[in-house]
């Protein structure tokens, strides 16, 4: 059985991006010409998933509105004959079926996943973090679904990071069972220096099995006082199995100011209409440095 639903948690406070995120959710900050969350939803749709469960909180309604039908706007654009824009706006409102679940307090990513239990039920599901962007030829989620299809166990996407960055991530240790696929033997959230030799950092893409809910119920607050999905995954791998998959592509942490700038430059260069002019402009800037 393959997942048909993707959970996208967007209930965090986005403190790393203050003051921009005081009123505007970080997932709605624009990268080139669309909000971050739209790139993620487009990745999910390109991977064959049409049902999205948003984990939201107060102040995040702009995200739901973005994927909703806007009668006023569509009527206005139709009347003015602005058909290209109308098609663009319609495309967004028809992309996905959305269900929203409220996370009443930002108690951590693990808790954000936990509150989706009623909606997901007894089936595998995808989790994509609302501020993690992956640029790749083949959508990252699609790559992971192929791994899940083979092993039928939970899969986390990993990338190799520099040793000094290990302490900023959830880190997976394990043995490589085929090129780029690891059977996880331990997974730790933000390890202190010396705690692990692995540099396989978990990024914001997961395929989970419903057993994770039971693991989450038994997970106590960990690093930062939050219920960590990583801790529940460590329980899951002892009771069942967990795989880490080194995805092909480039990941950006758009919830971080530098990561956001890098994503903007990268995606602007790849943009079909803007890429050429932007590249020319960047070359001028670089020449002046």
Encoded tokens for 45: 């749709």
Encoded tokens for 144: 């992971």
At closest approach, how far in Å is the CB of 228 from ligand UTP? Answer: 10
Nearer to ligand UTP, 131 or 153 (CB): 131
Measure the CA–CA gap between 187 and 256, rounded to whole angstroms. 23
Which position among 51, 62, 106, 196 is part of the footprint of ligand UTP (CB under 6 A)? 106
At closest approach, how far in Å is the CB of 288 from ligand UTP? Answer: 33
Which position among 28, 101, 109, 215 is part of the footprint of ligand UTP (CB under 6 A)? 109
Encoded tokens for 76: 């206005």
Helices (H), 1-139: 36-46, 61-66, 71-79, 83-95, 109-114, 117-120
Nearer to ligand UTP, 34 or 240 (CB): 34
Measure the CA–CA gap between 274 and 289, rounded to whole angstroms. 23
Is 103 near ligand UTP (CB under 6 A)?
A: yes
Is 131 near ligand UTP (CB under 6 A)?
A: yes
Residue with tokens 């109308």: 86
Q: How many CA atoms lie within 13 A of 178 on its CB side?
A: 5
Which position among 3, 5, 7, 10 is part of the footprint of ligand UTP (CB under 6 A)? 10
Is 208 near ligand UTP (CB under 6 A)?
A: no
Quick one: which segment of 8-16, 72-80, 192-200, 275-283 binds ligand UTP (CB under 6 A)?
A: 8-16
Which position among 3, 174, 191, 255 is part of the footprint of ligand UTP (CB under 6 A)? 255
Is 170 near ligand UTP (CB under 6 A)?
A: no
Residue whose Cβ sits closest to ligand UTP? 12
Q: Is the dihedral of CA 158, 162, 168, 174 positive or negative?
A: positive
Under rule CB under 6 A, which residues in 40-99 are in contact with ligand UTP? Answer: 55
Is 15 near ligand UTP (CB under 6 A)?
A: yes
Residues 6+ apart with CB under 8 A from 122: 210
Under rule CB under 6 A, which residues in 110-129 are in contact with ligand UTP? Answer: 111-112, 129
Nearer to ligand UTP, 104 or 150 (CB): 104
Which position among 2, 16, 89, 119 is part of the footprint of ligand UTP (CB under 6 A)? 16
Encoded tokens for 105: 């307090």
Is 154 near ligand UTP (CB under 6 A)?
A: no
Q: Kindly provide the residue ranges of all beta strands, DSSP E only, lying in the chain, ordered along the sequence.
A: 5-9, 30-31, 34-35, 51-56, 97-102, 125-128, 132-135, 154-160, 170-178, 181-189, 200-208, 242-246, 250-253
Bridge partners of residue 35, in order along the sequence: 30
* Binding residues for ligand UTP (CB under 6 A): 9-17, 55, 103, 106-109, 111-112, 129-131, 255
């Amino acid at each position: 059985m393959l997942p048909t639903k993707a959970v996208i948690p967007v209930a965090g406070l986005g403190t790393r991006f203050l003051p921009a995120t005081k009123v505007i959710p970080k997932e709605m900050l624009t990268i080139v010409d669309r909000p971050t969350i739209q790139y993620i939803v487009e990745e999910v749709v390109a991977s064959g998933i049409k049902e999205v469960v948003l984990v939201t909180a107060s102040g995040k309604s702009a995200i739901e509105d973005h994927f909703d039908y806007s009668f006023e706007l569509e009527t206005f654009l139709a009347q003015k004959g602005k058909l290209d824009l109308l098609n663009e706006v319609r495309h967004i409102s028809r992309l996905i079926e959305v269900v929203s679940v409220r996370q009443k307090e930002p108690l951590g990513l693990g808790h954000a996943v936990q509150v989706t239990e009623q909606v997901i039920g007894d089936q595998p599901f995808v989790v994509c973090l609302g501020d993690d962007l992956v640029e790749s030829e083949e959508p990252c989620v699609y790559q992971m679904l192929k791994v899940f299809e083979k092993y039928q166990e939970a899969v986390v996407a990993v990338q190799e990071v520099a040793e000094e960055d290990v302490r900023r991530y959830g880190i997976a240790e394990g043995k490589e069972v085929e090129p780029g696929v690891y059977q996880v033997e331990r997974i730790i959230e933000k390890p202190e220096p010396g705690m692990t030799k692995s540099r396989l950092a978990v990024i914001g893409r997961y395929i989970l099995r419903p057993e994770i809910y039971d693991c989450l119920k038994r997970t106590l607050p960990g690093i930062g006082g939050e219920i960590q999905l990583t801790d529940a995954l460590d329980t899951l791998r002892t009771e069942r199995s967990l795989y880490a998959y080194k995805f092909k592509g480039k990941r950006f942490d758009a919830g971080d100011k530098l990561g956001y700038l890098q994503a903007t430059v990268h995606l602007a260069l790849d943009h079909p209409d803007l890429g050429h002019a932007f590249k020319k402009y960047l070359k001028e800037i670089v020449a002046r440095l």
